[in-house]
Structure formats: structure tokens, C-alpha cells
Amino acid sequence: MRLDIQNVSKKYSATKYGLKDFSIGIDKGILGLLGPNGAGKSTLLKMIATVSKPSDGQIILNKNNVVKDPNYMRKQIGFLPQDFGVYPNLNAFEFLKYIAAMKGVGGKQLNSKITQLLEGLNLTDAAHKPIGSYSGGMKQRVGIAQALLNDPKVLIFDEPTVGLDPEERMRFRDLIHQLANDAIVILSSHIVSDIDTVADKVAIMKNGNLLAYGDQEELIDKVKGKVFETKIDKNTLHEFKQNHLVVHSLLKGKSTIVRFISSQKPNGALAQQPTLEDAYLYTTKTS
């Protein structure tokens, strides 16, 4: 499996680009797409899923140009869009049968496939209740299930963990780990902790551009020796933030403990082991 995005742009109006001359090559495994709101993550994912067309550039899956021949992609894709909608009067079982019919998935195995997916997503007990009565997290899990109906080789999840509680996030992580043995899985988020425990590779986006792409270790290496922690008077945090790139701060009595990024070691600060969160903040704030 190999997906190549080659010089892809998406122009929404004369002056507005969702994505600008964007290129990336993606192999089997889990890619985490990180970027702040408006970075262009959904714009990119919708074009890969062939529900939107690039204004320029090519998207190639296993040497097939899917801008010209979207059906090649459509046969093997599973897509959970950010604004996934359900039919509230159908129950999860009926809904998945309905989507299966639209995707052309059928056969004798369909009922057992749906049963298996519902079980994998912890929806068995609710399977025969109308989706309108589900919580946000349960609806999101129905969305994940529908993306898996056709045993996709390219799986795209736009902000999949929205609404999932910690236990469900863990289940989701285990599930996509299994799937990624034999597929390209792309997950988007603006929250680093959604990505860092699961992604083999990470791409950082901002303003429609790719800022960084690589293994987590490679990205983290860029902030090696630059991450520090220090204690400051809580009243000086605002001023400190103006002069330093603060990752986070924690109020402790009259003091505040700050984690920050600096090219030099300030007096009294303690060097810290860098994380993907540090690398993400550094990359997006300094570009």
C-alpha cells in the first residue's frame, strides 16, 4: 500500500486556500495528522476520501490516479468524517446494514460482520435501540463501525476520539493497531495525546502547509536540549509567557511551575525530557 499526495492545493476562493502545494508519501501503518484549527486537516482528508476534488495536484494510490479514477479509492476506503451524521430512528444494526447496502457490501457474512463490529466497539447492548437515544461517544463509535464495514485498506478518521471516554479511547487504539497491520490508517487531531500513543508517523500541519513529517523520535529530536522547567512567582506568568514559549503551567501555592522551550538554558531552570507535545508546540509556534 502506498499513498502519494503530490503538490495538492485546494482553493476555496480567489484568496482562500485550504491546502497549498501539499506533498506527502504514506505507507502502511498509522499516520497521525496534527495541526491547530484551520490547518487544513479535514480539507486534505476529504480529498483523499474523494468527497472533494483538489484544485491542483494529484493523489495516487498504488500507482492509480484517484483524482481521475475515484472509484479505485472508493472500493477500498473507510472514512469517518468530522461531521458524521446518523439516522436517529434506525438502530445501530439497521444503520450499519443500510450503509453496507450503499457501499455494495453484502453476502452471507454481513450479519456476522456487523455483530463482530458492534462487539469490537462495545455497542452490543445498544445495537437494537434507536441511535437517537445514544450518547455522543456511542454515535461516534457507530461512525467508526461504518468506516470498517468493507475491510478497508485505507482508513481515514477525522478527529475520531471526540466524545470518547478514556476506556473507549484505549479500545479504539487497540482496534486501529490491529487494522494497521495491513492498511494505511490516517487519524487527525489537534490534541497531541490522541496521537502520540498510537501513531507510527506524525505529520504537523498549519495554514495548509506541511511543517514536519517523520517518526515521533525524529520530530522530538528537534527540541532535544531545549525543554526546561522552572518555578516562578504566579504573578509573573503573563510576562514570562511574553518572553518564552510556554508548553504548560501549573499553579502551586504562590508559585507557578512552567514547562517551556528555549534555545539556551536559563539560570535555575531544569532540563526536561522532550515529548511530542513540546515538538508540536515548537513546530507550530516558530513557523
Instruction: State the residues that interact with ligand ATP by CB under 6 A.
Output: 12, 16, 18, 35, 37-43, 82, 190
Q: How far is the CB of 120 from ligand ATP (least distance, A)?
A: 27
Closer to ligand ATP by Cβ: residue 46 or 113 = 46
Closer to ligand ATP by Cβ: residue 7 or 89 = 7
Q: How far is the CB of 70 from ligand ATP (least distance, A)?
A: 19
How are beta strands 201-206 and 29-34 bridged, if at all?
Answer: parallel
Q: How far is the CB of 207 from ligand ATP (least distance, A)?
A: 8
Q: How far is the CB of 195 from ligand ATP (least distance, A)?
A: 13
Per-residue burial over 56-91, b = 16 or more CB atoms within 10 Å of its CB, e = otherwise? ebebbbeeeebbeebebbbebbbbbbeebebeeebb
Q: How far is the CB of 189 from ligand ATP (least distance, A)?
A: 8
Closer to ligand ATP by Cβ: residue 12 or 87 = 12
With CA atoms as reference, report the closest residue to 149 among 195, 199, 105.
105
For 281, how many CA atoms within 13 A lie in the half-sphere containing its CB? 17
Closer to ligand ATP by Cβ: residue 62 or 207 = 207
Closer to ligand ATP by Cβ: residue 41 or 226 = 41
